[in-house]
Amino acid sequence: MTVISIQSQVAWGHVGNSAAVFPMQAHGIDVVAVPTTLLSNRPGYETIRGRVLDAQLVADLLRGIEERGAVDGAKVILSGYLGSADIAQEVAEFVTRAKANNPALLYCCDPVLGDRDGGLFVRTDIPPLVRDELCPLADIITPNHFELEWLCGAPATTTDEVIAQARTLMARGPSTVIVTSAELAGTPDDAIETLAIERTKAWRVRTPRLPISPNGTGDLFAALFVSARVRGSETPDALSHAASAIFAVLERTALRGTEEMRIVESAEELVHPKRRFEAEAITAAQHPGQTS
């Protein structure tokens, strides 16, 4: 079981591949990690060193892993923070080649464009490429609520609207849309909601809201969801596993009072979370014309 993970890399802390690789390895998955940045730490600290990698270097790394047979043995390509429009284009070309050579390969695109608190936090030429080039290639996309709205160009404040927007995106390519950090009209104030939408079915899982919001949670969630899918779980079980495992990490992080997620300390619960939050089907009665 192999995942090719194309994301940022930091020396300090847990975002991008520095949040995603260890959890996938803990699930028994071999990870081919291709960096798009090499940074000392994530933005938000007083200083940051390093840089976004040259697109040609990233292209060379992708060609190199192809030459080693990584595509032939891979189950999933996962992409996250890309750093530049040129890198986004190289990733699109790589995914196109890889899927042509290995038709069973799944592509999971985590858009990593921004969030509700800060808006878009990537260069302005990246979001259109993610929307128009990468999402149509994807089998699975994992936007947060803000990113879903940006990709669709319209607000979504209810479960119905989120499902409708997700299915608009599906018309362009993906078969599964996972919406994280959903803030909806029916979501209790003390809960965080994550929705999984497919063409004829949808599910939600709610976890308690914790008094922290560390960076890298979307990167970790995507890695946990992909891990469950690689190990054979269908979408609702993968959703439940990812939500339960990330809650365990965040609960431990809140207890420690640290800025960075306590991923390594939570190794056992990444795979076997002690507290499980089940995904519930969103019923046809709530969404006329759809089956649950």
> What is the Cα 197 distance to its own chain's centre?
14
* pLDDT for the residue 76: 98
Q: Is 280 exposed, middle or buried (0-12, 13-18, 19+ CB in 10 A)?
A: middle
Neighbours of 26 (CB within 10 A): 21
Give the pLDDT of residue 291.
Answer: 38
Q: pLDDT tens digit string along 5-26?
A: 999 999 999 999 999 999 999 9
At the second CATH level, the architecture of 2-281 is 3-Layer(aba) Sandwich (3.40)
pLDDT value for 117 = 85
- What is the pLDDT, as a whole number, of residue 227? 98
CB 258 within 8 A of CB 265: no
End-to-end CA distance of the chain: 31
Residue 46: phi, psi to the nearest 5? -60, -35
- Residues 133, 88 contacting (CB under 8 angstroms): yes
Query: Residue 124 forms beta bridges with which residues?
Result: none
pLDDT one-digit tens code per residue, 97-153: 999 999 999 999 999 999 988 899 999 999 999 999 999 999 999 999 999 999 999
Q: What is the pLDDT of residue 289?
A: 38
Give the Cα separation of 35 and 15 in Å (integer). 12
pLDDT computed for residue 186 by the predictor:
87
Separation of alpha carbons 145 and 277, rounded Å: 20
> 14, 24 in Cβ contact below 8 A?
no
What pLDDT tens digit does each residue of the chain (292 aa) get? 899 999 999 999 999 999 999 999 999 999 999 999 999 999 999 999 999 999 999 999 999 999 999 999 999 999 999 999 999 999 999 999 999 999 999 999 999 999 988 899 999 999 999 999 999 999 999 999 999 999 999 999 999 999 999 999 999 999 999 999 998 998 999 999 999 999 999 999 999 999 999 999 999 999 999 999 999 999 999 999 999 999 999 999 999 999 999 999 999 999 999 999 999 999 743 443 343 3
pLDDT at 283: 76
What b/e string do you get for 119-146 counting C-beta neighbours within 10 Å, with b at 16 or more?
A: eeebeeebbebbbebbbebbbbbbbbbb
